[in-house]
Chains A and B, each alone.
Chain A
């Protein structure tokens, strides 16, 4: 088991039960005055952090929740700052 993820509802589970949902990018940009380029950047451009990043996960084999965790991308380990523990 390479990765465990802490679901706020089900607790710590095998990473294979989850689907990755992408980096946390903050709130959806306001549509007023939004240019196609800015929208494209929001949707497609990622920071690809080498280190701790906040990201979305979906508990597809469990409770069906979407939630955020912090994961160190260099070690592929969740760090203790999740929605479940905050």
Chain B
């Protein structure tokens, strides 16, 4: 049988200098001339799951307690768990490499959505051009989840850090919006020098949190 080829919905203009094939995805590890300024990183190859259950708060699909309050997130063991409502949790495997948990309430949504990270000091200035939501909300402790429109598209946005140069969010939405979403983010970020970066940049950043 032929090997499947998984294709990211995100296309970033840049010259990859380091790539690797992982689980049938072409993953860019580094782009040529990556800058210190704000960056956008395609993470669409990272496994993502949707967990639904009437008692979702008692589930431990990755061995740790899930957040109990909608809007709360927990980042543990490389997994970002976001409580969406009374019965649903979204799970992003930022570390990668783990199999789908054996739970009938889990759906793998990796190939149904796009997934990007925006990292850098000016990230929230870029975000406020595209959404009325306050991703820097001083009353909330990171990480926290917003579900709402970003560039008019229903998205899940998680603020992972709001400390100056280390600031960053991850964003996911339906895969069909990929091209236009990236276009609008890059356009909004032009004045701040937003540029593509490879997965290595994201991995270094996530380790620093």
Contact = CB atoms under 8 A, between A and B. Distances in A.
A62 B154 contact: yes
Contact of B85 (A9, A14, A17, A61): A9
A63 to B, nearest CB: 5
A14 B149 CA distance: 10
Interface in B50-74: 70-71
Contact of A10 (B71, B86, B132): B71
Interface size class of B (residues with CB under 8 A): 10 to 19
Nearest to A13: B148
Contacts of B70: 9-10, 63
A57 to B, nearest CB: 14
A25 interface: no
A13 B147 CA distance: 11
Contacts of A59: 147
Contact of B132 (A14, A62, A63, A64): A14
Contact of B149 (A61, A63, A64, A65): A61
A15 to B, nearest CB: 12
Nearest to A1: B132
A74 B88 CA distance: 36
Contact of B154 (A9, A14, A61, A65): A61
Given A9-B71, A10-B148, A17-B149, 19 more contacts: A9-B70, A9-B85, A9-B86, A10-B70, A10-B71, A10-B146, A14-B149, A17-B148, A59-B147, A60-B154, A61-B147, A61-B149, A62-B154, A63-B70, A63-B84, A63-B85, A64-B85, A64-B88, A64-B147
Interface of A: 9-10, 13-14, 17, 59-65
In the A-B complex, the 7 residue pairs with the closest CB atoms: A61-B154, A9-B70, A62-B147, A61-B149, A63-B85, A63-B147, A62-B148
